[in-house]
Amino acid sequence: MYLVIDIGNTAQKLAVYDEAGRQVALVRQPELDVCTLEDIFGQYNLRAALLSSVGKVNPDVVAWLERNTRLVNFSPALRLPIRLNYDTVGTLGTDRVAGAVGANALFPACPALAIQAGTCLVTDFVDEQGTYQGGSIAPGLCMRFQALHDHTAHLPLLDPQHPDSYTGKSTQESILSGVIYGMACEIDGIIGHYQALYPNIHIILTGGDADFLKDYIKNRIFAAPNLVLEGLYKILKCNVE
């Protein structure tokens, strides 16, 4: 079995996959700790682990993994099941690469656009030849609420809530409408751009805010909450076999 760990900016997740590629365990925490690893390793016979990080990693977790398994630290320099056509590969987020790999695995030989709605709103495009062509990075949902509060004198800081109407009748309702409908329209606009260029493209929505946003998006999407973890598993297999 195989362990993959995704250290994000907001949440940290680990997943266990069996030899057939089925996910058999999933843990999500604010910060992974050694006790969690000991519990997982006590339940499963794990051949290797892949660690991907765009956030802060607990050094005790890394040290424990290095002592107890074959640990692969993910970077774009690893062997990948897709090709990268990107000018600054050294700065390319590992979560973006993993999302692209996951999208390509779901829809091989087809163009695919992975949309990660998390701390940032990130899009990553893979063409039908399996080549990653890049994408976009924009502020995520909570970051937009925070920016309105931080860069004005009087606007309140709100948590994501479903707006009652497109036309806000109060300051709070206006902020909710502007942030949520605005982000949904942005996503629909991006999807429309790619669909005009690639009519057979598949759109995959993932990330911590994907479930909240999915009903506001007009275009047809494929929801894949664990897309990055699936991509990490494919990359791990590619490097240990």
For the chain, give every domain's residue range.
1-73, 75-241
The span from the CA of 16 to the CA of 4, in Å, is 7
- In DSSP terms, 50 is beta-bridged to 4, 72
Which residues does 91 contact at the CB level (< 8 Å), separation at least 6?
none
SS3 32: coil
75-241 to CATH, choices 3.30.420.40, 3.20.190.10, 1.10.3720.10, 3.30.360.10: 3.30.420.40
Cα angle value 102/103/107 (rounded, 5°): 120
CATH architecture of 1-73: 2-Layer Sandwich (3.30)
- In this prediction, residue 97 carries a pLDDT of 94
Token readout for 96 is 């973006």
pTM for this entry: 0.90
Closest CA to 234 of 88, 17, 85, 66: 17
> CA 145, CA 72: separation in Å to the nearest integer?
36
8: part of which helix (H) or strand (E)?
none
* 3-state class (DSSP) for residue 37: helix
**The two three-digit tokens of residue 49, written as one number:** 């682990």
Which helix (DSSP H) or strand (DSSP E) does residue 96 occupy?
helix 94-106
- Supply the DSSP string of 29-56, one letter for each residue: ESS--HHHHHHHHHHS---EEEEEESSP
* Neighbour-count burial for 153-172, b at 16+ CB within 10 Å, e otherwise: eebeebebeebeeeebeeee
The mean pLDDT values, 10 residues at a time, for the chain of 241 residues are 89 91 91 92 92 86 93 87 94 92 96 96 97 97 97 95 93 97 97 97 95 93 92 93 76
Going 18 to 203 to 110 to 104, the CA torsion angle's sign is negative
What is the model's pLDDT at position 241?
A: 76
Interatomic CA distance for residues 234 and 75, integer angstroms: 14
User: Which value, to the nearest 10 degrees, does the dihedral of the CA atoms of residues 163, 169, 170, 174 take?
Assistant: 50
Q: Which two tokens stand for residue 24?
A: 């058999």
Give catalytic residues, as residue numbers: 95
Pairing of strands 12-17, 23-29: antiparallel
* Fold match between domain 1-73 and domain 75-241: yes
Q: What is the pLDDT of residue 44?
A: 93
Six-digit token pair at 199? 């009519």
Q: What is the pLDDT of residue 9?
A: 78
Task: At 53, list the tokens.
Answer: 């990080």
Alpha-carbon span 233 to 2, nearest angstrom:
7
